[in-house]
Amino acid sequence: MTTILATIFVLGILIFFHELGHFIVAKWSGIFVEKFSLGFPPFIFKKKFGDTEYCIGAIPLGGFVKMAGENPDEEVTGAPHEFMSKPVRVRTAVVFAGPFMNFILAWLILWGIFFIQGEFITDPDHAVIGQVSPDSPAMKAGLQEGDIILAVDGTAVHSFADMGKVISKRVEEPVTIDWQRDGENMSATVTTMRETTYNAKGDKIAVGMIGVGEKGTFKRLGFFTAAGMGFGRTLTFVKMIAKFVWDLVTMKVSAKMIGGPVFIAQAAGQQAQLGFGALLVFMSFLSVNLAILNVLPIPVLDGGHLLFLVVEKIKGSPMSMNHRMIAQQIGLAFLILVIVVVTYNDIVRFITG
């Protein structure tokens, strides 16, 4: 139930803000909006307010804003309230507003987290234990919160990253841990436990762990400092996702790494169990992901529509119906292929755990 509720909450908010971006800019531009929908048909809720019909669809994997004169294959009268009657710059703003709103949503979420919760600060020079998992190898060895890890198998460590590099390579093998507690040096041999993850090729690999978390404290930030931190973290997400997409295109990472609805649901459920703050961070990351994927120049996505508008601006007239249909068919075929791949990946992950 936690997974289901978390998934509905995350996807509902992301889709709502994305479509809200299209809706607001369309309204500001004087475009007649016929329908605003969260989810795809069949509709389980429909209500008309003013000139717009608001709907909730039974398939919660997207949404849409239906504007007058939006589709080239429908009859266009040339009325000023129609989408195609607006200048290219206005139509570009309407199309781009959806992905841009997802970027803004991610920033607002992270801004709020940094302002309310603060920034997590750790010791920059030492690997200090904050949590020890119950029945973990670390607990059995006597490690406690506040212990400072000095070395692993004789290799000095100065951060959790240093410690992880050594321990991860030792799967279900004994390692010697040296630590300091209240000025006293201590040592013990710990047999790591096996955990599974995925490498860049999408293959499942085993890593060693001892079951400890890093100690840190939350430092409260001012309103504007939190805004800057939130914006910076949002840009970090942009760089991470853009790099992943580029590595995917250049085949530096495997398509096995792509996840779909099942993966999102599983991840949302896991983050919800860690706490509402963790779920919000996951939502912000997913929001940036949605923004970037939507601006890719693939017909049927927002990026494809933006590409059509660029071509129209260059040639001085809209693309022919025939060329648009061909491009959209290619884009649709590509998206179907992606859906098949991510569905296969989700099924494999689910079966193999």
Amino acid in the structure at residue 161: A
* Bridge partner residues of 184 (DSSP): 181
According to DSSP H, which parts of the chain are helical?
Answer: 2-28, 88-116, 137-141, 160-167, 223-249, 261-274, 276-294, 302-315, 321-352
Residue 15 structure tokens: 């889709």
Amino acid in the structure at residue 296: L
What are phi and psi for residue 338, nearest 5 degrees? -60, -40
Which is catalytic among the residues 19, 53, 75, 172? 19
CA distance 157 to 125: 9
CA distance 275 to 278: 5
With contact defined as beta carbons under 8 Å apart, do 67 and 19 qualify? no
With contact defined as beta carbons under 8 Å apart, do 47 and 34 qualify? no
With contact defined as beta carbons under 8 Å apart, do 59 and 41 qualify? yes
Identify whether 214 is a catalytic site residue: no
CA distance 319 to 171: 58
The residues carrying an active-site annotation are 19
